[in-house]
Chains A and B, each alone.
Chain A
Amino acid sequence: MTDLMARVVVNVPAEAKKGEVIEIRTLAGHPMETGFRRTQLGELVPRDIIRSLVCAYNGVEVFRAELHPAIAANPLLTFTTVATESGTLEFRWTGDNGFSVTEKAVIKVV
C-alpha cells in the first residue's frame, strides 16, 4: 500500500521565456521528527528529519537548502531560478535514516 504514497510534489512551469525568473515550489511528505519530543513515558523520540534539498538544472546545482528540526512537518520550500535553457530540473531530498528521494521536472525554454 505504502509504495503508492506520494512522497514529493514539484511545481515548475512547463514553459518559460529565456532569461525569465521562474518560481519553483516543492513539498515533501515527512514528519520532521525534531528529536526534542518525548513519549507519554518520558522517553525522547529520536530525531528524523530531511536535512537537505538540492536542485540541479541540467546537471548544474542552482539551489541548496539545509533544513533543521525547526522546519515544519511536510516541508515546503519555494525558491526561484533563471530559465536559461530547455532541459531537466532534478530535485534531491536527503535526510536521516537514509532518506533519499529524487524528482525530475522538464522545462521548455523558448
Chain B
Amino acid sequence: MRVWLLLLFPLAAAAAEIPLAERKSGYEFMSRETRAMQDDEVTGPAVLTLLDGEALWGKLGCGTCHTDMKGVAARYPAMVDGKLTTLEQQVRHRNPNLAYESRELLALTAYVARQSRGMPIDVKPVQPNLDAGKAFFFRRQGQLNLACANCHDDNWGKKLGGTPIPQAHPTGYPVYRLEWQSVGSITRRLRNCLTGMRAELLPHGAPELVDLELYLMWRARGMKMEAPAVRP
C-alpha cells in the first residue's frame, strides 16, 4: 500500500530546517533605507524608547542591584525559580504593576536588551519546553492550515504579497515595527502571526508562546543580538 509514502512527510518537515550556516537575520531582507533607520543611533525610531528605558531604570532603582546587564537578554527565555521565563516576565516580576506591552515595560525591556547588542544568542535548551516550542513551530493550525515552518523554513526569501518572507529569527526584540509605528515585544509579533494565519490567538504570558519563543531563540543560537531592531 501507499501508506509508506505518508511516513515521508514528517521527515520532509524536519529536513526543511534551515542549516545553521545559512541563517540570515531579518536585517538582510530589508531595504538599504530601512537598515539605515536601525543603524541610526541618534534619531532612529527606537531611540526615544531607549531613552525612556534609561530614565525608568534610574527612577525604579534597578541599578542598585543590577550593575551590568551585558549578555542578559541573549540568555532569555531562561529558567527562573523553576519556571521558564521571558525577559518581559522577568522585568515584570520585579515590577508587577507594569502591564504587558505597556510603554514602560517596553522601554525597560528595550534598554536591557540593548546592552546585549552584538552578542551571540545563548539560550539553554530547557526541556520539555524546547520540544514543545518546536512542535508548535511545525504544527499546522488555523483556518489556513499553516505551520510557521511552511513559510519561515520552507519558503523564506520568496515573496508573500510583495513582501519578502524572512527566516523569523528573534534577534531584534523588542522591535520598532514600522507597521505598528511603535516598539513592540516578540509576543505581540507572535500574536500578529497567529492572527495572520487565522489561528487561535494566545494571550500574553501563555506557556505555548513562551515555549515557542525559547525554540525560536534556540533556532537562532549564535546569531548576533540586534535589539532594538527596526523591521517593516
Contact = CB atoms under 8 A, between A and B. Distances in A.
With most chain B CB atoms within 10 A of its CB, the pick from A31, A72, A74 is: A74
Contacts of B55: 4-6
A56 B52 CA distance: 27
B42 A11 contact: yes
Range class of the B interface residue count: 10 to 19
Given A1-B104, A4-B55, A6-B55, A78 B181 contact: no
Interface in B42-77: 42-43, 45, 47-48, 51-52, 55-56, 59
Range class of the A interface residue count: 10 to 19
Interface in A43-85: 72-74, 76, 78
Given A5-B103, A78-B43, 8 more contacts: A1-B59, A4-B55, A11-B42, A11-B43, A25-B43, A26-B43, A27-B47, A74-B45
B43 A76 contact: yes
Interface of A: 1, 4-7, 9, 11, 25-27, 29, 31, 72-74, 76, 78
Contacts of A1: 56, 59, 104
Contacts of A25: 42-43
A1 B105 CA distance: 12
Contact of B51 (A6, A26, A72, A78): A6
B213 to A, nearest CB: 27
